[in-house]
């Protein structure tokens, strides 16, 4: 009697091979998604968020400018700032940001703007700022800064003043005339981090103090700006003043060590300054 014939089950082998191939295809797709698609998608989302912050800081500047122009103390206005955005569960974390309200300290450069004549009999000082810093995972790291009526964007590769303060320079009469709106932001130094949207509430403290002086004897005036974004101030002041005054009528110096920009105006016969102080708070629950 011969040995029984054993038939091999090829269907089982095919099923096992098919399962392995399906797993390999799935792993390949997941690898492509996590290494190729997700990083590009996250970078695009963070770039879109940077555009949102640009628009929100521009709207904040517009609000504060209008509050100074309307000159109605005690009326509070809120502006949203979106700190971050959610990510993709499992695949990618969300991005967050940090907002700081008030003058800088604890290792950050103090910010201050001083406008005065050589004798310092005429002197005004502005201070305070709002700073938002990203914590991106893919897109370039940025910080947005509002100070003295200007909006500045800082990156690792440079600084750009997106919108400058209210500064007008004229020499139509043959002498220099200066017009400046000074905006101080009185904050309490609050720092908050997260990925949600919070409000920045600003309120004019008192009716703007307007000072207008005519000088029969031309004066020398100084505009000194201390800021961690001093490089952007150099570019703005060179462009704004250089388009109105001759090179012999002003001098701009930049002290990189102290992050201070100084502008010397000579032959000044008229100055007009509106001094404003706004209380700023964060609407944090």
- Name the residue with tokens 């600003």: 202
**% of residues, the chain, pLDDT over 70:** 81
Write phi, then psi, for 232 (nearest 5 degrees). Answer: -70, -30
Cα–chain center distance at 49:
13
Rounded Cα gap, residues 269 and 114, in angstroms? 19
Q: Count the alpha carbons within 13 Å of 110 in the hemisphere toward its beta carbon.
A: 8
Q: Is 152 exposed, middle or buried (0-12, 13-18, 19+ CB in 10 A)?
A: buried
pLDDT digits (tens, 9 = 90+) for 166-196: 999 998 888 999 999 999 998 878 888 888 8
Chain length of the chain = 285
Least confident range of 105-119, 196-210, 213-227: 105-119
Residues 6+ apart with CB under 8 A from 123: 114, 115, 116, 117
Q: Is the pLDDT of residue 6 over 60?
A: no
pLDDT at 105 (0 to 100): 47
pLDDT digits (tens, 9 = 90+) for 130-147: 999 988 877 888 899 999
Assigned domain for 263 exists: yes
Residues forming a β-bridge with 232: none
| Mean local confidence (pLDDT), 205-219 | 94
Assigned domain for 186 exists: yes
Rounded Cα gap, residues 147 and 154, in angstroms? 13
pLDDT at 5 (0 to 100): 54
Cβ atoms within 10 A of the Cβ of 175, count?
A: 16
18 against 251, higher pLDDT: 251
pLDDT at 190 (0 to 100): 83
- 239-251 exposure pattern, b = at least 16 Cβ within 10 A, e = fewer: ebbeeebeeebbe
187 against 271, higher pLDDT: 271
Q: Is the pLDDT of residue 108 over 60?
A: no
Least confident range of 22-31, 109-118, 134-143, 154-163: 22-31
pLDDT at 101 (0 to 100): 85
Assigned domain for 219 exists: yes
Number of domains in the chain: 1
pLDDT digits (tens, 9 = 90+) for 40-84: 667 778 888 889 999 999 999 999 999 999 999 998 899 999 998
| Mean local confidence (pLDDT), 256-278 | 95
Which residues constitute the domain of residue 194? Answer: 11-283
pLDDT at 19 (0 to 100): 72
| Mean local confidence (pLDDT), 85-110 | 67
- Split at pLDDT 50, 70, 90, the class of 285 is low
Least confident range of 32-36, 108-112, 254-258: 32-36
For the entire predicted model, the pTM comes to 0.84
pLDDT at 191 (0 to 100): 86
Assigned domain for 6 exists: no
pLDDT at 139 (0 to 100): 82
pLDDT at 36 (0 to 100): 63
Which of 201, 175, 184 has its CA nearest to residue 68? Answer: 184
Assigned domain for 3 exists: no
- The overall average pLDDT reported for the chain is 85
pLDDT at 46 (0 to 100): 83
């Amino acid at each position: 009697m011969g040995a029984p014939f054993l038939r091999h089950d090829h269907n089982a082998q095919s099923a096992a091979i098919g399962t392995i191939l399906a797993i390999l295809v799935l792993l390949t797709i997941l690898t492509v998604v996590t290494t190729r698609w997700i990083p590009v998608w996250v970078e695009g989302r963070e770039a879109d968020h940077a555009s949102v912050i640009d628009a929100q800081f521009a709207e904040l500047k517009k609000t504060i400018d209008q509050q100074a122009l309307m000159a109605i103390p005690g009326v509070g206005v809120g502006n949203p700032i979106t700190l971050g955005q959610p990510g993709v569960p499992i695949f990618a974390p969300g991005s967050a940001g940090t907002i700081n309200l008030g003058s800088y300290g604890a290792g950050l450069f103090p910010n201050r703007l001083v406008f005065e004549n050589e004798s310092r009999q005429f002197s005004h000082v502005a201070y305070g700022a709002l700073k938002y810093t990203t914590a991106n995972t893919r897109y370039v790291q940025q910080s947005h800064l509002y100070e003295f009526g200007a909006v500045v964007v800082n990156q690792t590769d440079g600084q750009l003043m997106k919108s400058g303060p209210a500064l007008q320079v004229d020499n139509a009469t043959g002498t220099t005339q200066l017009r400046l709106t000074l905006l101080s932001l009185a904050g309490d130094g609050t720092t908050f981090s997260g990925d949600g949207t919070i409000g920045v509430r600003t309120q004019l403290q008192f009716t703007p103090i307007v000072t207008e002086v005519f000088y029969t004897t031309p004066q020398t005036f100084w505009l000194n700006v201390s800021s961690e974004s001093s490089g952007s101030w150099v570019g703005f002041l060179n462009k704004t003043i250089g388009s109105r005054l001759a090179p012999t009528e002003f001098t701009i110096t930049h002290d990189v060590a102290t992050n201070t920009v100084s502008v010397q105006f000579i032959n000044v016969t008229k100055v007009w300054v509106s001094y404003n102080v706004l209380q700023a708070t964060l609407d944090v629950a």
